[in-house]
């Protein structure tokens, strides 16, 4: 019996299985020219309202679909289905986040064809989804004016892994005395240079700028993936 | 609580590698960054549970918490920001969007017994 254990270097990323699936998804999306956008936020930040508005706006112009992750109910999927674009629910059960394999399995069953844009709404949670790559091209983190300006400071990791911040429910900003400058400062503290949109999906405020940005990102992505 | 699935993945990796290398796992060394999205305390308690259900009930978890490192374009040097809430250069205050270290979530080594 050898009393001293031997130390052997291994160097394996803990989420290598997820990353392998995410990379495969990303290259498949590249082949079909599909631009994939994921949405993360805390519960009640207005992800579903925002997404429903976006899907309605874009459906005439692009081939759009959405995957929506939820712990138990299909309420969100039913709400999104009102936008009349293809919507598929992923019920995660006790799992607090989506993983790449759940996206892969949902797509295999579903096979939405020739999409320009695929939206993936993650489970409402600002902690767990940060760690899991879903093969998306753009990750949006949403938070509402009613949640307070310090949200980025409470959840720096999710803000740091996201590409764009969307501040929602701007129509309520006055009522809750939302301090936009402080919110922007906090976002840029945890993610310097991050692009921020201030929107109200309900009233339409700030949405044109976001659509313009999305169209530019899609064009840029197509330019890169066709090379 | 994604720490439980992370803990199970760590144990899977260790079991797989131990099978390949030969020997039983006495300890698993993990590198963990502050921007990995995994909290060390939560991981430790989840690991305690996960280990019981795994093939490696005796494997200790050794967490090496690595610092946050960014690249400062003004200093053209690697710098450690004050915290993950203040990603700027501590020397010249330039914002540091480029993170070089701090996202680690990696099994780096195993202690194997014959």
pLDDT at site A225: 65
CATH of the domain at A8: 3.40.50.300
pLDDT at site A204: 97
Residues of chain A whose pLDDT is less than 70? 1-3, 225-227
- Whether this model's pTM surpasses 0.80: yes
Tokens linked to B46: 């989840």
CA distance A33 to A218: 9
pLDDT at site A226: 59
Residues of chain B whose pLDDT is less than 50? none
CA distance A159 to A145: 16
| A171-218: pLDDT as tens digits | 999 999 999 999 999 999 999 999 999 999 999 999 999 999 999 999
| B10-30: pLDDT as tens digits | 999 999 999 999 999 999 999
Domains identified in chain A, total number: 1
Q: Is A13 on the interface with B (CB under 8 A)?
A: yes
DSSP string, A40-103: EE-TTSSHHHHHHHHHHHHTTTS-EEEEEEESS--HHHHHHHTT-S-EEEEE-TT-SS--HHHH
CA distance A83 to A112: 16
Domain hosting A39: range is 4-226
Neighbours of B77 (CB within 10 A): 12
Q: Is B71 on the interface with A (CB under 8 A)?
A: no
A5/B27 touch (CB, cutoff 8 Å), yes or no: yes
Interface ipTM: 0.86
| A100-117: pLDDT as tens digits | 999 999 998 887 778 999
Q: Is B23 on the interface with A (CB under 8 A)?
A: yes
């Amino acid at each position: 019996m050898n009393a001293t254990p031997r130390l052997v270097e291994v160097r394996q990323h803990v989420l290598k299985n997820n990353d392998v699936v995410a990379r495969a998804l990303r290259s498949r999306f590249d082949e079909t020219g599909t631009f994939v956008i994921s949405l993360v936020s805390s519960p009640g930040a207005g992800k579903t309202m925002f997404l429903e508005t976006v899907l309605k706006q874009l459906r005439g112009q692009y081939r759009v679909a959405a995957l929506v992750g939820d712990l138990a109910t299909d309420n969100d999927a039913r709400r999104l289905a009102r936008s009349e674009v293809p919507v598929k629910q992923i019920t995660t059960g006790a799992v607090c986040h989506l993983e790449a394999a759940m996206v892969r399995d949902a797509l295999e069953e579903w096979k939405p064809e020739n999409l320009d844009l695929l939206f993936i709404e993650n489970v409402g949670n600002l902690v767990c989804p940060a760690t899991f790559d879903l093969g998306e091209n753009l990750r949006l983190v949403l938070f509402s004016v009613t949640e307070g300006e310090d949200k980025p400071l409470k959840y720096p990791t999710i803000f740091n892994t996201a590409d764009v911040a969307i501040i929602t429910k701007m129509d309520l900003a006055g009522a809750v005395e939302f301090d936009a400058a402080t919110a922007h400062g906090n976002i840029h503290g945890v993610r310097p240079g991050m692009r921020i949109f201030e929107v109200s999906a309900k009233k339409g405020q700030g949405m044109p700028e976001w659509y313009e940005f999305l169209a530019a990102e899609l064009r840029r992505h197509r330019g890169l993936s066709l090379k | 609580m994604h720490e439980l699935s992370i803990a199970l993945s760590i144990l899977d990796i260790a079991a797989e590698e131990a099978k390949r290398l030969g020997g039983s796992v006495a300890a698993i060394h993990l590198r963990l960054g502050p921007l990995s999205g995994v909290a060390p305390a939560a991981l430790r308690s989840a690991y305690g549970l996960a280990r019981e259900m795994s093939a490696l009930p005796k494997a200790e978890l050794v967490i090496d918490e690595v610092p946050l490192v960014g690249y400062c374009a003004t200093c053209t040097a690697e710098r450690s920001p004050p915290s993950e809430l203040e990603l700027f250069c501590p020397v010249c205050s330039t914002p540091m969007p480029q993170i070089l270290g701090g996202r680690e979530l990696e099994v780096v080594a195993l202690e194997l017994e014959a």
